[in-house]
């Protein structure tokens, strides 16, 4: 099932071997159209799941789209960023996964996996060449077919609502990708995010 916008019950998404998560529903929103009454729940969940998260609904910059999972209350979310990037000399269309998180009480039921697959469906529909993410713990993503790549990454540093400088760094195994097109990923080439790192 491709969920582009709207609300479906996760229990209905059992095809293609996806886990069934009883009583939860997933809503998909363009970032600017998230209902105002969802914002306190988003701030609360991000603060609960990520130590030191700022007291707002996004970390450094707004993503483009968000998936929200409710079980009565908000219990999980993920954001996606669709961006033109540069890998070596070629331009790429890239979907980035941002701030995937699941309330502790609801973990290990396949909710994060379902959300990543939902972003993947969106990325495919959006004709992305690849999905990327940055993760200190790669277990979940490896199971879902992502691989670590060692490309140097060029990015715009942002902090405290300010743009700083442009730097180039490597991220060890944290940078993970899943290719969605025939474009071959040169893992030696510089990946220019053409913006901030999410």
Using CB under 6 A, list all residues that contact ligand COA.
49-50, 100-102, 107-113, 135, 137, 139-140
Q: Which is nearer to ligand COA, 110 or 183 (CB)?
A: 110
CB of 90 to ligand COA, least distance (A): 26
CB of 124 to ligand COA, least distance (A): 19
How far apart (Å, rounded) are the C-alpha atoms in residues 99 and 101?
6
Tokens of 174: 């944290």
Do residues 45 and 80 touch, judged by C-beta distance below 8 A? Answer: no
The torsion region of residue 20 among left (phi > 0), alpha (psi -120 to 50) and beta comes to beta
CB of 71 to ligand COA, least distance (A): 12
Pairing state between β 90-102 and 162-169 = unpaired
Q: Which is nearer to ligand COA, 108 or 184 (CB)?
A: 108
How far apart (Å, rounded) are the C-alpha atoms in residues 138 and 40?
29
CB of 91 to ligand COA, least distance (A): 26
Q: Which is nearer to ligand COA, 138 or 183 (CB)?
A: 138
Q: Which is nearer to ligand COA, 55 or 188 (CB)?
A: 55
**Which H or E element spans position 102?**
strand 90-102
């Amino acid at each position: 099932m491709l969920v582009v916008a709207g609300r479906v019950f996760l229990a209905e998404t059992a095809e293609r071997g996806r886990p069934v998560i009883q009583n939860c529903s997933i809503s998909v929103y363009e970032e600017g159209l998230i209902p105002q009454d969802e914002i306190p729940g988003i701030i609360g969940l991000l603060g609960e799941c990520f130590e030191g998260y700022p007291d707002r609904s996004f970390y450094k910059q707004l993503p483009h789209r968000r998936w929200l999972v409710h079980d009565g209350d908000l219990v999980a979310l993920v954001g996606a960023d669709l961006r033109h990037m540069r890998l070596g000399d070629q331009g790429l269309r890239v979907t980035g996964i941002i701030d995937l998180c699941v309330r502790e009480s609801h973990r290990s039921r396949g909710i994060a996996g379902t959300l990543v697959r939902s972003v993947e469906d969106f990325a495919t529909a959006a004709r992305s060449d690849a999905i990327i993410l940055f993760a200190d713990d790669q277990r979940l993503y490896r199971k879902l077919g992502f691989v670590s790549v060692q490309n140097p990454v060029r990015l715009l540093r942002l902090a405290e609502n300010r743009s700083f400088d442009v730097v180039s760094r490597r991220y060890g195994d944290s940078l993970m990708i899943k290719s969605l097109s025939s474009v071959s990923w040169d893992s030696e080439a510089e990946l220019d995010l053409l913006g901030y790192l999410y």
